[in-house]
Structure 1
Amino acid sequence: MRIITSLMSCLLALAGCNEKPSVTTIHHSSANGVDTLFSKTTLREGVATFECFASESGQCHYRVYTERCPTAAPAPGENPPACARTPLEDFTLAPGKTHEIRGVPQDFRACVSQVASKSPTCGA
């Protein structure tokens, strides 16, 4: 029996070693102990998964984009030039729902808010 238990433990340990690397981002805000926005984004092997857990408005509004910023430093006294954003997708999720986007670039960005926004900067 000890041999079977040891063998099973080794097999289970090996199975856990195949977990693919991922990056997870949590967006969480609360007021007076109540979640006003709670969302998770996970990127694993070019697949981004978005999960809405809670939103005061009843929906999580997402914007997925890429951003390219100038590499040259501004001259003294000048404001830095704005970064160019390329939208990839806008979508809305109800709490408890998920959405996947396959083939996203590794450097994609995402923002989430309680309200939909027409602004390219993701602000309300």
Structure 2
Amino acid sequence: MRIITSLMSCLLALAGCNEKPSVTTIHHSSANGVDTLFSKTTLREGVATFECFASESGQCHYRVYTERCPAAAPGENPAACERTTLEDFVLAPGKTHEIRGLPDSYRECVAQQAVDGRCPS
């Protein structure tokens, strides 16, 4: 039986049935047992997929950005990081959004309300 299982695994892998590596981020908050925000982002092969599952406001508000933080000299406080917004968008629960070609160092934040100014750290 082990030989058959191993053979089937090899054949499926050759046929392209193996899942590609990915990174998944979950944002979840709740109050009194009720989801106030539930969102998932998956990055696979350079494509980021954003999914909104629940939001108390009825919408998940996203900001995708990069951040550049200058190195601080010894003994000095670090300077503020410079953020560059790549995309802002809103999703209703059950909806998804894809972005291709994001830099490896991209970051994201998601909230129940529009993100004005800076994302929470």
Q: TM-score, normalised by structure 1?
A: 0.82
The answer (yes or no) to whether the contact 1:74–1:80 under 8 Å persists in 2 is: no
Q: Which residue type is aligned with residue 26 of structure 2? A: I
Q: Aligned equivalents of 2:44 and 2:16: distance in 1? A: 16
Q: Aligned equivalents of 1:11 and 1:92: distance in 2? A: 42
Unaligned runs of 5+ in 1: none
Give the aligned length.
117
Q: TM-score, normalised by structure 2?
A: 0.84
The answer (yes or no) to whether the contact 1:74–1:81 under 8 Å persists in 2 is: no
Q: Percent identity?
A: 81
Deviation digits for residues 74-113 of structure 1 (CA, Å, limit 9, x no counterpart): 635xx42110001000000000000000000011000000
Deviation digits for residues 46-79 of structure 1 (CA, Å, limit 9, x no counterpart): 1110000000000000000000111234635xx4
Query: Aligned Cα RMSD in Å?
Result: 2.2
Q: Which residue type is aligned with residue 87 of structure 1? A: T
Q: State the secondary structure of the residue aligned to 1:100.
A: strand
